[in-house]
Chain A
Amino acid sequence: MANLSESEDLVLLEALKMGSQRAFSLLFEKYYLDLVMFAGVYIHDQDACEDIVQNVFMELWRGHETLGVMSSLRSYLIVCTRNRCFNELEHRKVISEHVRFEMRNKDVFDSHADEYIMFSELKILIDKLLDKLKPAERQAFELSRTGGLTHKKIAVIQNCSVKTVEARICNVLKTIRGSIEKNYEPI
C-alpha cells in the first residue's frame, strides 16, 4: 500500500542478503505483530501463531544468503505465514469450510497478497475514517470490531433488525474499501 514502506523493504532486503542482523531485527520489528495477527485469521491459538511467525523469520535469516530476487518482501512474508498456517491446520486436521475454500484457491490468494492490508495499517485507516461515518454505522461496526459482539446482539443493542445491522456494517466496509482503492495506485 505505502510506497515508502516498499522502498524501505528493498533496502532492508539488500542488507539482509549481505547478512545484516540490523536489517533482520528491523524487519522483525516491522512485521512481527502484523504477521501474528494475520496468522490468527486461520489459527485462534496465539502461541501457535507466534511460533509460526518466528519460524518464518528464522527461515528468512537462515536463507538470507540464497534469497533471490523478489518484488515484495512483505507479500513474501504474508504468503510464507499463510502457507505455514495451512500446514499446521492440516496437521491438526481441523479445517473450516471457509479455510478449505481458501486452500483450494491458494493461487488466487497469493496473487492478492501484495494488496493485503495488515492489522496495524488498517487500524490507522479506520481511525481516520470513523468520523466520516453515520453514528449508528460506526456503533454497529465498533461493537463488532472491539466488542466482539455477534450481529444478533448488536441488533438487540441497536434495537433494529439483523438486516439493518448487516446494512450498517456493509456501509462501513464499503467506505473503508473505497478509501483503500483511492490509496492504491496500480503501477
Chain B
Amino acid sequence: MKDDVQNNMEQLITAFLLGSDTPEEERTVLDWVAESRGNSRIFHQYKNIWDASHPAFQEKSIDREAAFARVQERLHKKNRISTSQLVLRIAAALAVPLAAFSIWASVTMHSGRILAKNEVRQTVFAPFSSRTQVVLSDGSKVWLNSGSSLEYPAVFRGKERAVALKGEAFFEVESSEKMPFIVKAGAVEVVATGTEFNVNAFAADSISTVSLRKGKVGVFSEGLRLSELNPGERLCYNNSNRFYSVRNADVEDDCIWKDGVLSFNNVPLERVFKRLGQLYNLNITISDPEIGRNMFKGTFDNEPVSEIMKIISMTTPIRYSTDSLYRPKRITVLPLR
C-alpha cells in the first residue's frame, strides 16, 4: 500500500517537473512535500535530477577561461587603488568639475607615458663573491648580493618608483606615500612606502622570499595581493605551485649578508650549500641526500669559500673534494667514511 502511494507520488512529481500536471495535482505534490523531511528530500532529489539533466544553457557556450580572466581583472582593479583613482577621489572632494578633471587627467597620464618611454634605465650587477651598494635617485639604498642584478630608472618619475630585481637585495627605502616603491622580482612584486626589507628571488630557486625588517610592505603576485607584512615576518613564495606562507622569522639573519656576514642558524646543510652555490657561483653536488639533512649553525664574517667549506666539514659529518683549493668552481660533498 505504501509503495502504491509512493509510486503515485513519483508519477505526480514527474508530471510536476514536465509541467503536465493540473493545478490540483500540483497542490497535492506541494502539500506532500511540506508533510515531512523525508518527503521533501525525495522531492528535492527528483527536482535536482530534472534540473541538472535539463540545463538552461549549452555546455559549450560557457567559456571558463575567459570568465576566470575577467574575475582576475575585476579583483585586480579593486585590490589596488591606482593613483588616478586617488586623484579622482581628491578631485571629487574638491568639487572640481568632472569634465575639466578628465581632460587634465588624460593629458597628465598621456605625458606620463611619454616620459616612461624615454626613461633611461640602468642595470647594476654584483659579481659573484662580492656585494654592491647602489643609491637611487630618491635616496633609497640598495645592497645587491653576489650574482644579483637590479634594473632601475636613472631618475624616478611618474606615480611609482619601480625597479626590477634578479637575485637578492636588501632595500632601505626613502618614504613617500605618493610614490610607492615597487620591486618586481620574478612572479613577486613588493610594494613599499618607506621601509627596510630583503627580497630573495634567484631565478634558479623555486622559492622566493620577502623579509621585512622595518615599516610595512605589500606583496603582490599576478596582480593579486598576497599579503601585507609586519616587521619580523617573512613571506615564502613557491614559484612552481604558486603557494605561499607568511611566518614570524629571524629576519635579521635574512638581511645580515649585506654587512658581509653569512649566518646560518640551524639550517639544513642542503640549504647552506644552495646558498653558498648562489653567492660564490659554485657547482656544489651532494652525493647523498641524507647528508643534506644535517643541521648547521655558524656565522662567517667575510670569509673566502675555501675557509667556509673547511669549517663546515669540521663541524658536521661530511667531507668534500674540490677542483681547486683556493678558487674552487666545483665541490662534491661526501659522507664521512
Q: Are A170 and B48 also in contact (CB < 8 A) when A20-B243, A25-B68, A151-B20 are?
A: no
Asked whether any CB of chain A lies closer than 8 Å to the CB of B227, the reply is yes
Q: Smallest distance from the beta carbon of A14 to chain B beta carbons, Å?
A: 11
Q: Which residues of A contact B51 (CB under 8 A)?
A: 38, 41
A166 touches B62 (CB 8 A): no
Q: Which residues of B contact A29 (CB under 8 A)?
A: 64, 68
- Given A58-B74, A58-B75: A122 in contact with B53 (beta carbons within 8 A): yes
Chain B interface size, as a band, is 35 or more
Instruction: Pick from B18, B54, B64, B241: contact of A166, CB below 8 A.
Output: B18
Distance between Cα atoms of A167 and B8 in the complex (Å): 10
Contact yes or no, B40 A108, CB < 8 A: yes
Q: Do A61 and B59 have beta carbons less than 8 Å apart? A: no
In the complex, what distance in Å separates the CA atom of A28 from the CA atom of B70? 12
The one of A23, A46, A109, A176 in contact with B57, judged by C-beta atoms closer than 8 angstroms, is A46
In the complex, identify which listed stretch (B118-126, B171-179, B218-226, B257-265) lies at the interface while the others stay far away.
Answer: B218-226
A147 to chain B, nearest CB (A): 11
Residues of A within 8 A of B89 (CB): none
Give the chain B neighbours of A54 by CB distance below 8 A.
Answer: 67, 70-71, 74
Whether B75 and A61, one on each chain, are in contact in the complex, defined by CB atoms closer than 8 angstroms, is yes
Residue B45, interface by CB 8 Å? yes
Q: How far is the CB of B190 from chain A (nearest CB, A)?
A: 15
Contact, CB under 8 Å: A20 / B20: no
Chain A 54-76 near chain B by CB (<8 Å), digits 1 or 0: 10011001100000000000000
* Chain A residues close to B by CB (< 8 Å): 15, 18-23, 25, 28-29, 32-33, 36-38, 40-41, 44, 46, 49-50, 53-54, 57-58, 61-62, 101, 105, 108-109, 112, 115-119, 121-123, 126, 141, 144-145, 148, 150-152, 162, 165-167, 169-170, 173-174, 176-177, 180
**Besides the known contacts A37-B57, A44-B56, 14 further A-B residue pairs in the complex with CB atoms under 8 A apart:** A22-B241, A28-B64, A28-B71, A37-B56, A38-B52, A40-B57, A54-B74, A58-B71, A61-B75, A108-B40, A116-B48, A123-B53, A166-B11, A177-B42
Contact residues of B with A, CB < 8 Å?
10-11, 13-15, 17-20, 30, 34, 37, 40-42, 44-46, 48-57, 59, 61-62, 64, 67-68, 70-71, 74-75, 78, 221-222, 224, 226-227, 241-245
